[in-house]
Amino acid sequence: MQAGFARSPEISEPDWQPISTPGAIGWLAFYALFLIHAIINKTGFLIIDHVNLIVHESGHLLFGWFGRTLGVWGGTLMELLVPLALAAYFTISRQTTGTAFTTFFLFENFLYISVYMADARTQQLPLVTVGDPENAEHDWFRIFSSLGILQHDTQIAAVTKCIGWLGMLGTLAWMVHRFLNAQRTKG
């Protein structure tokens, strides 16, 4: 190695926090049960989506300070920014299970968002608002209409849903990889 490129142990990347075998089994059981819940649920509204709905509505309030358009987008933005910020924190801290949990639920939000997107033209879902219910509007109807792509709502929703599933499964594969990698280096 050349002299200027050697890494000292003090500045090398810290290792990811290992997952114990019982911890890995517990987390994988949790995620398996959640995925089964997501697969068999036909309403499009999973148990965690009660929390997502609160985060979504808070986004309208927060981003609404920056204008009507950003206020409409704010619900979805907040749904994605909250778990993304938490995932970034856990990644920087090298906490494997925290990173996996927050990243998994970041991608789970895509499932929830896809249901709302697919409803843009039909507007069959009940709307929830923190403001005047008489003035409630469908976010994705307004967003897709303003972009001139309303006729593609279900196709965009299908891609969004696919991203959610691939992201959740990819997150689990990453967590299993981290666990197996730690087991190999340990033994």
Residues with Cβ within 8 Å of 63's Cβ and at least 6 positions away in sequence, in order, are: 70, 71, 73, 74, 75, 77, 78
Alpha-carbon gap, residue 155 to 182, rounded angstroms: 40
**pLDDT tens, the chain, 187 aa long:** 444 444 444 444 569 999 999 999 999 999 999 999 999 999 999 999 999 999 999 999 999 999 999 999 999 999 999 999 999 999 999 999 999 999 999 999 999 999 999 999 999 998 888 876 777 889 999 999 999 999 999 999 999 999 999 999 999 999 999 999 988 887 6
- Write down the pTM of the prediction: 0.89
Domain boundaries, the chain: 46-129+139-186
